[in-house]
């Protein structure tokens, strides 16, 4: 997959794609449906399959001090899109220049002159241009005028309701990772570099791989059943585990992160990239009356996690 970040400097081989457009936060089933429509178009016209998205997320750009809301980092989104067979990722820098383009300017300067897209696929709730003034119907009109195809995809829903990033965030906030996975079509994953902590877990007999959740929507704090993929280094592979999401109230911490104990694993993975899938929620954070009580609960958590993973 090739990543293009500046629509004003595009190689000829990166032009002409059939591309889905959106923020693709979480790359949920609704996003995958839009991508599949673009995939069919790319196959029919023998053009590259693309996704156009924005970094930072426009909501983050306009309200940088708002609470974290993203389901995944840009790198995690790129990894997921690559797995879906995307050939061109147009991860455009959302900046002062892009943010003030009117809808017709966006279509002319970005879609036609910049990227030379042959066809775009958008959701029916898609908005674009300064002030989100452009709607899906406007994109259809502009496509007719400027010579690119447009498909408007209907919103997706399941038996519970609409499939959306907002609904997925709500499920995670309530500690329902399986509901989130139903809408995502995959486990909700948090990716990052393994960082050094205070190594208190090692002293307790439960060494953990710690990653930051800074900038991401925080799932409900507590203990989770997880699957851990080590993405880089000599220990690459998939492992089961149990993880603590939160601030470690037992030890007076206040910076939330994700600490994963990887079952049956010995090795140094500091500095490596890992991806942690939230499979099930076991219990909330709590303060224990002593270290021995804490260790006993950790033993029980891990036993329960192993049993759940064995039944997947």
Question: Is residue 259 among the annotated active site residues?
Answer: yes
Closest C-alpha among 24, 56, 22, 63 to residue 165: 24
Burial class (CB in 10 A: 0-12, 13-18, 19+), 97: exposed
What's the rounded Cα separation, in Å, for the pair 309 and 312?
5
- Which listed residue (11, 105, 259, 285) is catalytic? 259
What's the rounded Cα separation, in Å, for the pair 106 and 99?
9
Q: Cβ distance 18 to 41 under 8 Å? A: yes
CB count in 10 Å sphere of residue 62: 11
User: At 190, is the secondary structure helix, strand, or coil?
Assistant: strand
Identify the DSSP state of 157. B
Identify the DSSP state of 11. -
What's the rounded Cα separation, in Å, for the pair 174 and 59?
23
Catalytic residues: 259
């Amino acid at each position: 997959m090739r990543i293009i970040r500046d629509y004003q400097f595009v190689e000829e081989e990166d032009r002409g794609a059939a591309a889905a457009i959106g923020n693709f936060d979480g790359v949920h089933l609704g996003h995958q449906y839009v991508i599949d429509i673009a995939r069919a178009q790319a196959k029919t016209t023998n053009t590259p399959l693309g996704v156009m998205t924005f970094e930072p997320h426009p909501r983050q750009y306009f309200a940088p001090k708002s609470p974290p809301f993203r389901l995944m980092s840009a790198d995690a989104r790129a990894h997921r899109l690559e797995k879906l067979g995307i050939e061109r990722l147009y991860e455009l820098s959302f900046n002062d220049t892009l943010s003030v383009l009117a809808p017709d300017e966006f279509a002319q300067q970005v879609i036609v002159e910049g990227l030379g897209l042959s066809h775009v696929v958008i959701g029916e709730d898609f908005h674009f241009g300064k002030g989100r003034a452009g709607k899906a119907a406007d994109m259809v009109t502009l496509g007719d005028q400027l010579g690119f195809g447009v498909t408007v995809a209907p919103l997706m829903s399941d038996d519970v309701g609409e499939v959306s990033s907002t609904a997925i965030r709500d499920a995670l906030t309530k500690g329902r990772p399986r509901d989130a996975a139903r809408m995502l079509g995959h486990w909700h994953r948090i990716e990052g570099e393994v960082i050094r902590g205070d190594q208190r877990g090692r002293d307790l007999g439960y060494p953990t791989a710690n990653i930051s959740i800074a900038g991401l929507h925080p799932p409900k704090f507590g203990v989770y059943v997880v699957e851990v993929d080590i993405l880089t280094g000599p220990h690459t592979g998939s492992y089961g585990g149990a993880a603590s999401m939160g601030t470690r109230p037992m030890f007076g911490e206040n910076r939330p992160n994700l600490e994963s104990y990887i079952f049956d694993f010995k090795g140094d993975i500091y500095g490596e990239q890992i991806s942690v899938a939230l499979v099930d929620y076991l219990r909330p954070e709590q303060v224990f009356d002593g270290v021995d009580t804490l260790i006993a609960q950790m033993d029980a958590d891990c036993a329960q996690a192993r049993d759940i993973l064995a039944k997947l």
